[in-house]
């Protein structure tokens, strides 16, 4: 409800509009309940007493018509917003007043939920970080999200809604940060003993500062390869921020397809082989 990105701003507005629409029914119903209880209390002899009354067409129209209109409005709003704010859908604008410039390139970030920390891989920049994320302001971001072990949830409230992370599967989130600053990110799905400390900082930076941030991370001596990842993957709590100046190019693919350890067949190869067998049969 305190957005710094266009997607979060649209989602916050959707919550407010939906709440106001529902209050159009809730507030009158509560007010009328109190009024009827007071108006027709036992000792109010001035109130009309009609024990044989059982129907009013006008009242029936109001009782059924008003909620029906609210439901139709909410349904249309939800349907339109569900498609507009689909996390898999590429962005069509930076904010309400600005389309995406033709020369702006989307930033790709590969996100891996570990026990109990977050790994962020920047494939185009060739770096990786643990428990720290950064992106330039007004640049579309595409997050590719998976998990190493159990189901988790990637959530930066100021940026966009939560997206689940699942082992052996990839989910996506397209978003943009419109204001520079430092924002909270965390897991929104209970995942075990270290869940409470599974947090990270998300930095919205100018393009110049982001480039400097990348260069500083490239200067880090760490290299993230498969053996190093297997050590990182082991459960740990309150993991400090760390940086990797280089990353194996196929590491995220191996994590996603469950073939990090030597000799393991990747899931996509397994499924491809199964489809070929079915085709020959």
User: Could you state, in order of their start, the residue ranges of all structural domains in the chain?
Assistant: 6-39+59-85, 98-272
Cβ-proximal residues to 185 (8 Å cutoff; 6+ apart), any chain: 118, 133, 154, 155, 156, 199, 200, 201, 202
| The CATH number fitting domain 98-272, selected from 1.10.1270.20, 3.40.50.11810, 3.40.1160.10, 2.60.40.420 | 2.60.40.420
Q: What is the pLDDT of residue 241?
A: 96
- What element of type H or E holds 217? helix 207-218
User: What separation in angstroms does the CA of 99 have from each of 7, 92, 175?
Assistant: 14, 6, 14
Q: What is the pLDDT of residue 20?
A: 94
Q: 77: phi > 0 → left, psi -120 to 50 → alpha, else beta; which? A: alpha
Low-confidence ranges of the chain (pLDDT < 70): 273-281
Q: How much is the CA Rg of the chain, to the nearest whole Å?
A: 26
Q: What is the pLDDT of residue 262?
A: 87
Q: What is the pTM of this model?
A: 0.86
Parallel, antiparallel, or unpaired for β 181-187 and 152-156?
antiparallel
Phi and psi angles of residue 97, each rounded to the nearest 5 degrees, phi first: -110, -5
Q: How many CB atoms lie within 10 A of CB 14?
A: 17
Q: What is the pLDDT of residue 1?
A: 75
Q: What is the pLDDT of residue 277?
A: 52
Cβ-proximal residues to 176 (8 Å cutoff; 6+ apart), any chain: 5, 6, 7, 91, 94, 95, 138, 139, 140, 141
Q: What is the pLDDT of residue 273?
A: 63
Paired with 185 in beta bridges are 200
Q: What is the pLDDT of residue 45?
A: 84
Torsion of CA 103, 104, 106, 107, to 10 degrees: 130
């Amino acid at each position: 409800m305190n957005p710094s990105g266009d997607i979060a701003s649209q989602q916050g507005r959707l919550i407010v509009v939906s709440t106001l629409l529902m209050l159009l029914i809730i507030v009158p119903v509560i007010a009328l309940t109190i009024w009827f209880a007071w108006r027709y209390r036992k000792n109010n002899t001035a109130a009309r007493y009609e024990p044989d009354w059982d129907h009013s067409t006008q009242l029936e129209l109001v009782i059924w018509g008003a909620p029906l209109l609210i439901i139709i409005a909410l349904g249309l709003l939800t349907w339109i917003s569900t498609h507009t704010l689909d996390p898999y859908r590429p962005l069509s604008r930076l904010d309400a007043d600005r389309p995406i410039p033709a020369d702006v390139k989307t930033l790709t970030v590969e996100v891996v939920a570990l026990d109990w920390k977050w790994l962020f891989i920047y494939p185009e920049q060739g770096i990786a970080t643990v428990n720290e994320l950064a992106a330039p302001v007004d640049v579309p971001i595409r997050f590719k999200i998976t998990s190493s072990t159990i189901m988790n949830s990637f959530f930066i409230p100021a940026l966009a809604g939560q997206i689940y992370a699942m082992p052996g599967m990839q989910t996506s989130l397209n978003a943009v940060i419109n204001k520079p600053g430092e924002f909270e990110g965390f897991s929104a799905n209970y995942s075990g003993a270290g869940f409470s400390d599974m947090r990270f900082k998300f930095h919205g930076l100018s393009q110049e500062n982001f480039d400097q941030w990348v260069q500083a991370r490239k200067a880090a001596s760490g290299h993230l390869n498969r053996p190093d990842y297997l050590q990182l993957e082991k459960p740990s709590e309150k993991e400090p921020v760390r940086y990797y100046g280089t990353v194996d190019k196929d590491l995220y693919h191996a994590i996603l397809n469950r073939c990090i350890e030597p000799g393991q067949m990747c899931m996509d190869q397994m499924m491809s082989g199964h489809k070929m067998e079915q085709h020959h049969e």
